[in-house]
Amino acid sequence: MSSPDTPEPQNAPDSLSPEAIASIRDNLDEVAARAAAAAEASGRTSTDVQVLLATKTQPADKIRVALEHGFTLIGENKVQELVGKAEDLADLDHEAHLIGPLQKNKVNHTLRHAHCIQSVDNLELVTKINNRLEVLDSTVDIFVQVNTSREDSKSGIAPEEAEGLITELRGLSRMKLRGLMTIGLPGRTPEEIRPSYSDLRELREKLIASGVMPAEATELSMGMSNDFELAIAEGATMVRVGSSVFGARDYS
Protein backbone atom coordinates (compact mmCIF):
# COMPACT_ATOMS: atom_id res chain seq x y z
CA MET A 1 0.00 0.00 0.00
CA SER A 2 1.15 3.53 -0.68
CA SER A 3 1.69 5.86 2.23
CA PRO A 4 -1.23 8.19 3.00
CA ASP A 5 0.60 11.25 1.68
CA THR A 6 1.41 9.76 -1.72
CA PRO A 7 -0.95 11.43 -4.19
CA GLU A 8 -3.01 9.12 -6.39
CA PRO A 9 -1.91 9.30 -10.02
CA GLN A 10 -4.50 11.25 -11.97
CA ASN A 11 -5.50 8.51 -14.32
CA ALA A 12 -5.52 5.60 -11.92
CA PRO A 13 -8.21 3.08 -12.92
CA ASP A 14 -9.84 3.62 -9.55
CA SER A 15 -9.96 7.39 -9.90
CA LEU A 16 -13.74 7.21 -10.27
CA SER A 17 -15.87 6.68 -7.22
CA PRO A 18 -18.25 3.69 -7.20
CA GLU A 19 -21.10 6.22 -7.34
CA ALA A 20 -19.65 7.88 -10.45
CA ILE A 21 -19.28 4.51 -12.15
CA ALA A 22 -22.82 3.47 -11.20
CA SER A 23 -24.15 6.77 -12.51
CA ILE A 24 -22.52 6.33 -15.92
CA ARG A 25 -23.89 2.78 -16.18
CA ASP A 26 -27.40 3.90 -15.21
CA ASN A 27 -27.28 6.71 -17.73
CA LEU A 28 -26.12 4.33 -20.46
CA ASP A 29 -28.97 1.94 -19.71
CA GLU A 30 -31.45 4.80 -19.76
CA VAL A 31 -30.19 6.21 -23.07
CA ALA A 32 -30.23 2.74 -24.64
CA ALA A 33 -33.79 2.14 -23.42
CA ARG A 34 -35.00 5.52 -24.69
CA ALA A 35 -33.30 5.01 -28.07
CA ALA A 36 -34.85 1.54 -28.38
CA ALA A 37 -38.30 2.87 -27.50
CA ALA A 38 -37.96 5.68 -30.04
CA ALA A 39 -36.81 3.20 -32.71
CA GLU A 40 -39.83 1.01 -32.07
CA ALA A 41 -42.15 4.01 -32.09
CA SER A 42 -40.80 4.84 -35.57
CA GLY A 43 -41.52 1.33 -36.83
CA ARG A 44 -37.97 0.06 -36.53
CA THR A 45 -36.17 -2.10 -34.00
CA SER A 46 -33.54 -1.20 -31.41
CA THR A 47 -30.77 -2.66 -33.58
CA ASP A 48 -31.60 -0.16 -36.34
CA VAL A 49 -30.31 2.71 -34.21
CA GLN A 50 -26.77 2.82 -32.85
CA VAL A 51 -25.72 5.00 -29.94
CA LEU A 52 -22.34 6.68 -30.38
CA LEU A 53 -20.92 8.23 -27.22
CA ALA A 54 -19.68 11.79 -27.74
CA THR A 55 -16.67 11.79 -25.44
CA LYS A 56 -15.11 15.22 -25.89
CA THR A 57 -13.47 16.48 -22.67
CA GLN A 58 -14.21 13.16 -20.91
CA PRO A 59 -11.26 11.30 -19.42
CA ALA A 60 -10.39 7.85 -20.66
CA ASP A 61 -11.40 6.15 -17.43
CA LYS A 62 -15.01 7.33 -17.83
CA ILE A 63 -15.03 6.14 -21.43
CA ARG A 64 -13.64 2.82 -20.22
CA VAL A 65 -16.66 2.35 -17.97
CA ALA A 66 -18.94 2.77 -20.99
CA LEU A 67 -16.96 0.41 -23.21
CA GLU A 68 -16.85 -2.22 -20.46
CA HIS A 69 -20.63 -1.80 -20.16
CA GLY A 70 -21.04 -2.98 -23.75
CA PHE A 71 -20.99 0.23 -25.79
CA THR A 72 -18.57 0.20 -28.70
CA LEU A 73 -18.83 3.53 -30.56
CA ILE A 74 -17.13 6.70 -29.41
CA GLY A 75 -16.83 10.05 -31.14
CA GLU A 76 -14.23 12.72 -30.51
CA ASN A 77 -14.34 16.31 -31.76
CA LYS A 78 -10.65 17.06 -31.60
CA VAL A 79 -7.92 15.04 -33.23
CA GLN A 80 -5.71 15.69 -30.22
CA GLU A 81 -8.22 14.01 -27.91
CA LEU A 82 -8.77 11.17 -30.36
CA VAL A 83 -5.05 10.46 -30.40
CA GLY A 84 -4.52 11.12 -26.70
CA LYS A 85 -7.11 8.59 -25.50
CA ALA A 86 -6.44 5.91 -28.13
CA GLU A 87 -3.61 4.31 -26.21
CA ASP A 88 -5.54 4.25 -22.93
CA LEU A 89 -8.44 2.46 -24.62
CA ALA A 90 -6.42 0.19 -26.90
CA ASP A 91 -7.21 -2.95 -24.90
CA LEU A 92 -10.96 -2.47 -25.35
CA ASP A 93 -12.87 -3.45 -28.45
CA HIS A 94 -14.31 -0.24 -29.87
CA GLU A 95 -14.62 2.03 -32.90
CA ALA A 96 -13.52 5.67 -32.70
CA HIS A 97 -15.15 8.25 -34.97
CA LEU A 98 -14.07 11.82 -35.59
CA ILE A 99 -17.20 13.99 -35.28
CA GLY A 100 -15.58 17.43 -35.20
CA PRO A 101 -13.96 19.57 -37.91
CA LEU A 102 -10.81 18.15 -39.48
CA GLN A 103 -7.94 20.36 -40.55
CA LYS A 104 -5.94 19.08 -43.47
CA ASN A 105 -2.71 18.96 -41.46
CA LYS A 106 -4.33 16.52 -38.97
CA VAL A 107 -5.44 13.95 -41.54
CA ASN A 108 -2.44 11.76 -40.84
CA HIS A 109 -3.07 11.41 -37.11
CA THR A 110 -6.76 10.96 -37.67
CA LEU A 111 -6.35 8.09 -40.09
CA ARG A 112 -4.10 6.33 -37.63
CA HIS A 113 -6.76 6.27 -34.92
CA ALA A 114 -10.22 6.82 -36.41
CA HIS A 115 -12.31 4.08 -37.95
CA CYS A 116 -14.72 6.65 -39.35
CA ILE A 117 -14.65 10.38 -40.16
CA GLN A 118 -18.14 11.85 -39.85
CA SER A 119 -17.15 15.44 -40.58
CA VAL A 120 -16.20 15.25 -44.27
CA ASP A 121 -17.49 18.43 -45.87
CA ASN A 122 -15.17 19.66 -48.62
CA LEU A 123 -13.35 18.39 -51.65
CA GLU A 124 -9.91 19.55 -50.56
CA LEU A 125 -10.22 17.43 -47.43
CA VAL A 126 -11.54 14.46 -49.40
CA THR A 127 -8.55 14.63 -51.73
CA LYS A 128 -6.11 14.89 -48.86
CA ILE A 129 -7.68 11.91 -47.05
CA ASN A 130 -7.64 9.80 -50.16
CA ASN A 131 -4.02 10.62 -51.01
CA ARG A 132 -2.98 9.69 -47.51
CA LEU A 133 -4.94 6.43 -47.67
CA GLU A 134 -3.09 5.55 -50.86
CA VAL A 135 0.22 5.98 -49.04
CA LEU A 136 -0.98 3.95 -46.06
CA ASP A 137 -2.65 1.36 -48.32
CA SER A 138 -5.67 1.69 -46.06
CA THR A 139 -9.37 2.61 -46.12
CA VAL A 140 -11.71 4.65 -43.92
CA ASP A 141 -15.45 4.94 -43.37
CA ILE A 142 -16.90 8.40 -43.85
CA PHE A 143 -20.09 10.37 -43.50
CA VAL A 144 -20.63 13.59 -45.43
CA GLN A 145 -21.56 16.30 -42.95
CA VAL A 146 -24.37 18.50 -44.22
CA ASN A 147 -25.28 21.83 -42.67
CA THR A 148 -29.05 21.36 -42.70
CA SER A 149 -29.58 23.88 -39.91
CA ARG A 150 -27.65 26.51 -41.88
CA GLU A 151 -26.65 28.03 -38.53
CA ASP A 152 -22.96 27.42 -38.14
CA SER A 153 -21.40 28.29 -41.45
CA LYS A 154 -18.15 26.60 -40.44
CA SER A 155 -19.06 22.93 -40.44
CA GLY A 156 -21.02 20.93 -42.95
CA ILE A 157 -21.51 21.40 -46.64
CA ALA A 158 -24.61 23.26 -47.83
CA PRO A 159 -27.38 20.77 -48.76
CA GLU A 160 -27.39 21.88 -52.41
CA GLU A 161 -23.64 21.25 -52.66
CA ALA A 162 -23.74 17.73 -51.24
CA GLU A 163 -24.46 16.15 -54.63
CA GLY A 164 -21.30 17.61 -56.19
CA LEU A 165 -19.07 16.53 -53.32
CA ILE A 166 -20.49 12.99 -53.22
CA THR A 167 -20.11 12.63 -56.98
CA GLU A 168 -16.43 13.54 -56.65
CA LEU A 169 -15.70 11.26 -53.73
CA ARG A 170 -17.38 8.23 -55.26
CA GLY A 171 -14.50 8.04 -57.68
CA LEU A 172 -12.13 7.62 -54.75
CA SER A 173 -12.40 4.02 -53.72
CA ARG A 174 -10.53 4.16 -50.43
CA MET A 175 -13.32 6.00 -48.69
CA LYS A 176 -16.45 4.05 -47.84
CA LEU A 177 -19.40 6.43 -47.73
CA ARG A 178 -21.84 5.26 -45.05
CA GLY A 179 -24.30 8.12 -45.21
CA LEU A 180 -24.94 11.66 -44.04
CA MET A 181 -24.36 13.47 -40.76
CA THR A 182 -25.76 16.71 -39.40
CA ILE A 183 -25.73 18.79 -36.24
CA GLY A 184 -29.16 20.09 -35.34
CA LEU A 185 -30.05 23.38 -33.75
CA PRO A 186 -29.04 23.25 -30.09
CA GLY A 187 -31.51 24.09 -27.35
CA ARG A 188 -34.51 24.96 -29.48
CA THR A 189 -38.07 23.70 -29.63
CA PRO A 190 -38.88 20.42 -31.43
CA GLU A 191 -40.67 22.41 -34.15
CA GLU A 192 -37.49 24.33 -34.86
CA ILE A 193 -35.15 21.33 -34.66
CA ARG A 194 -37.21 18.83 -36.68
CA PRO A 195 -36.62 20.29 -40.18
CA SER A 196 -32.84 19.97 -39.89
CA TYR A 197 -33.36 16.25 -39.33
CA SER A 198 -36.15 15.64 -41.83
CA ASP A 199 -34.14 17.59 -44.43
CA LEU A 200 -31.20 15.22 -43.97
CA ARG A 201 -33.47 12.18 -44.42
CA GLU A 202 -35.03 13.70 -47.55
CA LEU A 203 -31.62 14.54 -48.95
CA ARG A 204 -30.50 10.93 -48.44
CA GLU A 205 -33.63 9.69 -50.23
CA LYS A 206 -33.11 12.07 -53.11
CA LEU A 207 -29.41 11.27 -53.54
CA ILE A 208 -29.97 7.52 -53.43
CA ALA A 209 -32.97 7.66 -55.78
CA SER A 210 -30.97 9.67 -58.34
CA GLY A 211 -28.03 7.27 -58.08
CA VAL A 212 -25.67 10.00 -56.80
CA MET A 213 -25.21 8.15 -53.53
CA PRO A 214 -24.72 4.37 -53.38
CA ALA A 215 -27.84 2.49 -52.30
CA GLU A 216 -26.06 1.12 -49.25
CA ALA A 217 -25.11 4.58 -47.92
CA THR A 218 -28.27 4.72 -45.85
CA GLU A 219 -26.93 5.89 -42.52
CA LEU A 220 -28.07 9.13 -40.89
CA SER A 221 -25.98 10.35 -37.96
CA MET A 222 -28.10 12.92 -36.16
CA GLY A 223 -29.45 13.70 -32.71
CA MET A 224 -27.74 14.59 -29.42
CA SER A 225 -28.67 14.37 -25.72
CA ASN A 226 -31.45 16.91 -25.91
CA ASP A 227 -33.16 15.72 -29.06
CA PHE A 228 -32.11 12.17 -29.98
CA GLU A 229 -35.63 10.76 -29.76
CA LEU A 230 -36.81 13.40 -32.21
CA ALA A 231 -33.91 12.54 -34.52
CA ILE A 232 -34.81 8.84 -34.33
CA ALA A 233 -38.42 9.70 -35.17
CA GLU A 234 -37.02 11.43 -38.28
CA GLY A 235 -34.95 8.40 -39.27
CA ALA A 236 -31.61 8.63 -37.44
CA THR A 237 -29.62 5.39 -37.62
CA MET A 238 -26.94 6.73 -35.27
CA VAL A 239 -27.34 9.20 -32.44
CA ARG A 240 -24.42 10.96 -30.76
CA VAL A 241 -24.91 11.31 -27.04
CA GLY A 242 -22.53 12.90 -24.55
CA SER A 243 -23.75 14.90 -21.58
CA SER A 244 -26.73 12.72 -20.76
CA VAL A 245 -24.30 9.84 -20.16
CA PHE A 246 -21.23 11.52 -18.71
CA GLY A 247 -22.77 14.66 -17.18
CA ALA A 248 -21.91 18.24 -17.99
CA ARG A 249 -18.58 18.79 -19.70
CA ASP A 250 -15.73 20.42 -17.80
CA TYR A 251 -13.88 22.73 -20.18
CA SER A 252 -11.60 24.13 -17.51
User: Does residue 225 interact with ligand PLP by CB under 6 A?
Assistant: yes
Of 42 and 77, nearer to ligand PLP (C-beta) is 77
Near ligand PLP in 129-188, by CB under 6 A:
183
Only one of the segments 42-50, 163-171, 172-180, 224-232 lies at the binding site for ligand PLP (rule: CB under 6 A); that segment is 224-232
User: Does residue 241 interact with ligand PLP by CB under 6 A?
Assistant: yes
User: Does residue 240 interact with ligand PLP by CB under 6 A?
Assistant: yes
Distance between CA atoms of residues 116 and 97, nearest Å: 5
User: Does residue 66 interact with ligand PLP by CB under 6 A?
Assistant: no
221's CB contacts (< 8 A; 6+ apart) are: 52, 99, 118, 143, 179, 180, 181, 182, 236, 237, 238, 239, 240
Q: How far is the CB of 243 from ligand PLP (least distance, A)?
A: 3
Near ligand PLP in 95-124, by CB under 6 A:
99-100
Binding residue for ligand PLP (CB under 6 A) from 77, 127, 198, 218?
Answer: 77
Q: How far is the CB of 14 from ligand PLP (least distance, A)?
A: 26
Distance between CA atoms of residues 205 and 213, nearest Å: 9
Number of residues that bind ligand PLP (CB under 6 A): 14
Only one of the segments 63-71, 101-109, 209-217, 222-230 lies at the binding site for ligand PLP (rule: CB under 6 A); that segment is 222-230
Of 143 and 217, nearer to ligand PLP (C-beta) is 143
Site residues, ligand PLP (CB under 6 A): 54, 56, 77, 99-100, 183, 224-226, 240-244
